[in-house]
């Protein structure tokens, strides 16, 4: 078996080398061809002036040159409002001008054989209330490789009219992510061009959210379906503000399916932004954002104990304060910068409780974070633009157990005792990106250095200092017969530097008016999990059939490397056998794991190691599709997508008791030897149909249906196989595999009286695993399955969720319409159909709850909101 695996890896690496060589040859040919085409075309100059409604020059406006036959050029207007594009090839173009606080303007122009007269672009002040659409601005077919119509893009006004639970816009949009595109460390969140852990400011400061935008860009480590890009409010030349108040109370909630009595809940959110010029300056703008969240809620416990069913509610209050501010300044017509600072203080109590976890096993968590961001854009010439983004931050995050008692875990029945979860995490982190782009008539080159993580991390790992007992059944608990006991002793404090580096280059080439090709390469490096051969080529194209202005064919492929995050690094440093000693005892005594009160120091210690000759996991993503303009304001796209995961993360106990009896470990001097490996694999395919734009005069939105399947043989870097010596049963459906998914986000304006928003999700069920609930292999983990039963062999129930929002705008200044102060009152219904959506199904055959759900999504809840905007 190992010979076959080795041969398979060799073949995969040979294929990768061939692909890289072919890619390099294609990139060279394309660059030479693009340069030759550019040199062989006639050129002219486009110039002009940008003014406001009164005719005054607008300095610092962002002006772009766009064309179906040429790549983008951009510049910033001078003190006198002037701009100029030189060496522009003959053809049809569009000049777009944007400036904070003004409506964007587009002007069409055609270059024949001479330089045209200067253009005068008059900009009007932006209205406070824009048309309610879901990304209606981007529903025109475009032949740029980055303008894929199966992307999801939602602007601020649409978010205002959609049902967004607790103002959490990131979670609302996350439904469009693809779990197969995520990294080990989770979703990649990019705010204003820089990768972050949290949004960092309130929801009303968000201008636009995009998912799957430019999916194969080498600028990013992850593909578009695993990345959320957020653009924030840039500020305004006039004073504008927004204040939101959100309120929810359990008296308006439907009955919980697992609660004897309705759990108490009260939610209050005070959130808003203020923006405008600093002392009426036209060059310096400010933004202030504040978000205060208060929640008094209860978690629902549904478990089985020695005396029977356990059903109770437990308090889980939360308090959160987030404040942020930004100053933006335009130094000249070619240089502007912004400075951003945020502070967050969050306090969660009673976390982790619910389902089979009892209140005594909960935790209390604090989180304090300070963050600074800097962004600068410089136009070095008419064709050369440089962008610098920098972030520095610090956070402090302690977790304490509600009860210090030893933990009790009865599989599939209840989790009680203490959580044994005490730890403190601190971090000082720096991130920065420096990129430069050069464009001419038919070609745009972009290159940059990206450091998404340079962190000093401190961890005080005090988990399981009191130990945790594991029982297979309730009867074993009654008879005091645990199958395993786990405890840590020693020094759990460690400080380390985590360094992640990325370098990329990309070339967008317009080979002809109806064909554009984008070719790029990214190099990636991470310390501790070092692999010096992580070159990730990317290639995509957009082609419009001859004579067609309404259809584009797109395709692409790319390699994307994984990233571990800090937890696996800390495990390697702490569990080395001496610093922090981990003991795993089989068939221990209870409540004293060792007879006669002996010390654990005489027992074999468990360690964590990295496999020799480690190679970083990666996935190969590929897609092909057709986009069609249905109407002037709507598009339809059909896309086939696939991915192959190579050398994926898993953990394996390489010192597990040997077959066939599984009685003794090969090396008696150690307990568990957890080896972090890159030996898993995955396969996935999907067919996706997306519609975006206006369905009728009154309704617009985005609908997406996905038919998909996903298989793999690992659940991630912390997952162990059922049998460490036989991995055949691990290949099965992925944890997130759902055959059918349908998503709808839409807004309706049946009249000026009120607005309607809808969010609909329909999924078929996800899989879960059937286990025996006993430690059959004597390795301290009771995850063995019945003979011949693979992982994720059982099917969970489907999911139906309909959220609705009804809101009404009241204009507070007579005769001003939607340009004056506005008060918006709204009522949201989440899970409006009151569908019971089960989330946790017990797969343990030894549990009295086998095959039954023990937790569910909340029932119907009503949320009231008031928004004042001026």
pLDDT-based confidence at 39, cuts 50/70/90? very low
Interval 480-485 mean pLDDT: 96
Give the pLDDT confidence score for residue 36 in this predicted structure.
37
Asked whether 484 and 472 are in contact (CB, 8 A), the reply is no
Give the pLDDT confidence score for residue 54 in this predicted structure.
52
Give the pLDDT confidence score for residue 309 in this predicted structure.
94
- Tell me how far the alpha carbon of residue 89 is from its chain's centroid: 40
Q: What tokens were used for 759?
A: 């969010």
Q: What tokens were used for 359?
A: 């209140």
Print the SS3 string covering 743-783: EEEEEECCCCCCEEEEEEEEECCCEECCECCCCCCCCCCCC
Q: What are the beta bridge partners of residue 35?
A: none
pTM to 2 decimals? 0.83
Average pLDDT, the chain: 88
Residue 865 has pLDDT above 60, yes or no: yes
Q: Which residue has the higher pLDDT, 794 or 809?
A: 794
Give the pLDDT confidence score for residue 321 in this predicted structure.
97
Q: Which residue has the higher pLDDT, 434 or 134?
A: 434
Question: pLDDT tens for residues 433-460?
Answer: 999 999 886 889 999 999 999 999 999 9
Q: Enumerate residues 6+ apart whose C-beta is below 8 A from 718.
A: 651
Which is nearest to 766 in space by CA: 785, 731, 793, 801?
793
SS3 content of the chain, % helix, strand, coil (to 5): 10, 55, 35
Domains of the chain: 2-122 (2.60.40.10), 240-869 (2.40.170.20)
Percent of the chain with pLDDT over 70: 89
Q: What tokens were used for 674?
A: 């957890």
Question: pLDDT tens for residues 590-636?
Answer: 999 987 768 898 899 999 999 999 999 999 999 999 999 988 888 99
Q: Give the span between the Cα atoms of 567 and 230, in whole angstroms.
A: 26
Give the pLDDT confidence score for residue 812 in this predicted structure.
84
HSE-CB of 413 using CA atoms within 13 angstroms? 25
Place of tokens 């000093």: 456
pLDDT-based confidence at 21, cuts 50/70/90? very low
Which is nearest to 689 in space by CA: 627, 629, 736?
627
Residue 481 has pLDDT above 60, yes or no: yes
Residue 138 has pLDDT above 80, yes or no: no
Q: Give the span between the Cα atoms of 305 and 179, in whole angstroms.
A: 35
Which of 211-220, 805-814, 844-853 is least confident?
805-814
Asked whether 757 and 698 are in contact (CB, 8 A), the reply is no
- The residue count of the chain comes to 870
Give the pLDDT confidence score for residue 49 in this predicted structure.
86
Give the pLDDT confidence score for residue 38 in this predicted structure.
37
SS3 819: helix
pLDDT-based confidence at 280, cuts 50/70/90? confident
- Tell me how far the alpha carbon of residue 850 is from its chain's centroid: 33
What distances in angstroms separate CA 130 from CA 100, 159, 214, 363, one per listed residue? 15, 12, 26, 44
Report DSSP letters for 329-390, one per residue.
Answer: EEEETTEEEEEEEEEEEEEEEEET-BBTB-GGG-EEEEEEEEEEEEEEEEE-SSSEEEEEEE
Q: What are the beta bridge partners of residue 352?
A: none
Give the pLDDT confidence score for residue 142 in this predicted structure.
64
Q: Give the span between the Cα atoms of 40 and 36, in whole angstroms.
A: 6
Tally Cβ neighbours within 10 Å of residue 262: 15
Place of tokens 């000693």: 581
Give the pLDDT confidence score for residue 46 in this predicted structure.
86
Q: Which residue has the higher pLDDT, 814 or 333?
A: 333
Report DSSP letters for 409-424, one per residue.
Answer: EETTTEEEE-----EE
Q: Give the span between the Cα atoms of 237 and 286, in whole angstroms.
A: 9
Which of 50-64, 347-361, 505-519 is least confident?
50-64
pLDDT-based confidence at 6, cuts 50/70/90? very low
Which of 82-91, 173-182, 387-396, 837-846 is least confident?
82-91
Interval 542-554 mean pLDDT: 86
Residue 141 has pLDDT above 90, yes or no: no
Q: What tokens were used for 292?
A: 């205060």
Give the pLDDT confidence score for residue 842 in this predicted structure.
96
Burial 455-472 (b: 16+ CB within 10 A, else e): bebbbbbbbbbbbbbbbb
Q: Enumerate residues 6+ apart whose C-beta is below 8 A from 123.
A: 50, 51, 52, 53, 58, 61, 97, 99, 102, 103, 105
Give the pLDDT confidence score for residue 621 in this predicted structure.
96
């Amino acid at each position: 078996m190992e010979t076959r695996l080795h041969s398979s890896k060799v073949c995969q690496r040979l294929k990768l080398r061939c692909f890289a060589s072919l890619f390099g040859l294609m990139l060279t040919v394309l660059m030479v061809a693009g340069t030759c085409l550019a040199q062989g075309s006639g050129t002219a100059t486009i110039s002009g002036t940008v003014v406001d409604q009164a005719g005054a020059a607008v300095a610092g406006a962002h002006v772009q040159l766009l064309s179906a036959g040429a790549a983008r050029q951009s510049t910033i207007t001078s003190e006198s409002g002037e701009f100029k594009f030189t060496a522009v090839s003959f053809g049809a173009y569009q000049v777009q001008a944007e400036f904070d606080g003004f409506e964007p303007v587009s002007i069409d122009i055609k270059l024949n054989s001479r330089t045209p007269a200067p253009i005068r672009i008059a900009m009007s002040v932006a209205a406070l209330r824009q048309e309610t659409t879901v990304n209606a601005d981007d529903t025109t077919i475009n032949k740029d490789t980055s303008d894929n119509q199966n992307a999801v893009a939602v602007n601020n006004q649409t978010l205002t009219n959609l049902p967004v639970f607790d103002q959490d816009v990131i979670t609302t949009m996350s439904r469009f992510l693809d779990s197969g595109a995520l990294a080990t460390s989770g979703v990649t969140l990019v705010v204003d061009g820089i990768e972050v852990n949290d949004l960092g400011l309130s929801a009303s400061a968000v201008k636009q959210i995009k998912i799957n935008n430019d999916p194969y860009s080498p600028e990013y480590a992850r593909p578009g379906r695993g990345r959320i890009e957020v653009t924030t409010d840039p500020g305004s030349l006039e004073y504008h503000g927004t204040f939101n108040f959100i309120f929810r109370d359990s008296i308006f909630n439907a009955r919980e399916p697992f609660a004897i009595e309705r759990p108490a809940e009260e939610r209050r959110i005070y959130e808003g932004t203020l923006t405008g010029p600093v002392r009426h300056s036209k060059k310096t703008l400010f933004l202030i954002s504040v978000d205060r969240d208060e929640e008094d809620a209860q978690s629902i416990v549904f478990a089985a104990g020695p005396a029977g069913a356990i059903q109770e509610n437990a308090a889980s209050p939360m308090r959160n304060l987030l404040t942020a501010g930004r100053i933006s300044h335009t130094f000249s017509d070619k240089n502007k910068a912004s400075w951003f600072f945020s502070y967050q203080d969050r306090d969660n109590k009673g976390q982790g409780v619910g389902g089979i976890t009892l209140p005594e096993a909960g935790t209390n968590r604090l989180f304090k974070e300070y963050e600074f961001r800097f962004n600068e854009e410089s136009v070095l010439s008419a064709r050369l633009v440089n962008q610098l983004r920098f972030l520095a931050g610090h956070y402090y995050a302690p977790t304490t157990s509600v009860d210090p008692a030893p933990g009790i875990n009865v599989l599939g029945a209840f989790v009680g005792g203490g959580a044994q979860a005490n730890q403190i995490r601190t971090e000082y982190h720096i991130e920065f990106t420096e990129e430069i782009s050069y464009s001419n008539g038919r070609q745009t080159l972009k290159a940059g250095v990206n450091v998404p993580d340079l962190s000093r991390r401190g961890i005080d790992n005090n988990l399981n200092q009191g130990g945790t007992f594991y029982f297979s059944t309730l009867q074993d608990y009654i008879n005091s017969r645990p199958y395993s006991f786990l405890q840590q002793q020693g020094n759990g404090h460690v400080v380390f530097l985590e360094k992640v580096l990325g370098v990329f280059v990309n070339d967008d080439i317009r080979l002809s008016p109806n064909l554009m090709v984008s070719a790029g390469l990214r190099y990636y490096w991470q310390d501790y999990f070092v692999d010096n051969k992580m070159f990730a080529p990317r290639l995509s194209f957009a082609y419009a059939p001859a004579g067609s202005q309404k259809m584009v064919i797109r395709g692409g492929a790319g390699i994307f490397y994984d990233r571990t995050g800090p937890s696996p690094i800390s495990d390697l440093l702490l569990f080395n056998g001496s610093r922090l000693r981990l003991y795993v005892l089989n068939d221990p005594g209870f409540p004293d794991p060792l007879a006669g009160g002996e010390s654990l120091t005489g027992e074999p210690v468990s360690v964590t190691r990295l496999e020799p000759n480690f190679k970083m996991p990666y996935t190969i993503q590929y897609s092909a599709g057709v986009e069609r303009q249905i109407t002037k304001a709507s598009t339809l796209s059909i896309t086939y997508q696939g991915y192959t995961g190579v050398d994926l993360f898993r953990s394996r106990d390489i010192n597990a008791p040997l077959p066939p009896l599984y009685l003794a470990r090969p090396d008696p001097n150690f307990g568990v030897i957890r080896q972090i490996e890159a030996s898993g694999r995955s396969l996935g395919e999907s067919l996706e149909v997306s519609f975006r734009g206006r369905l009728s005069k009154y309704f617009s939105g985005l609908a997406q249906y996905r038919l998909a399947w996903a298989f793999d043989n690992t659940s991630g870097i912390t997952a162990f196989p059922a049998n460490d010596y036989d991995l055949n049963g691990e290949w099965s459906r992925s944890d997130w595999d759902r055959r059918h998914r349908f998503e709808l986000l839409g807004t309706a304006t049946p009249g000026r009286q009120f607005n309607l928003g809808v969010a609909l999700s329909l999924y078929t069920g996800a899989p879960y695993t059937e286990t025996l609930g006993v430690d059959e292999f004597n390795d301290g983990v009771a995850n063995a399955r019945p003979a011949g039963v693979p992982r994720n062999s059982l099917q969970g129930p489907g999911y139906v969720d309909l959220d609705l929002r009804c809101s009404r705008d009241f204009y507070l200044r007579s005769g001003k319409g939607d340009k004056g102060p506005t008060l918006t009152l709204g009522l949201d219904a989440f899970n409006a159909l009151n569908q019971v959506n089960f989330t946790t199904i017990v797969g343990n055959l030894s549990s009295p709850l086998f095959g039954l759900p023990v937790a569910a999504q909340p029932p119907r809840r009503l949320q009231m909101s008031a928004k004042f905007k001026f």
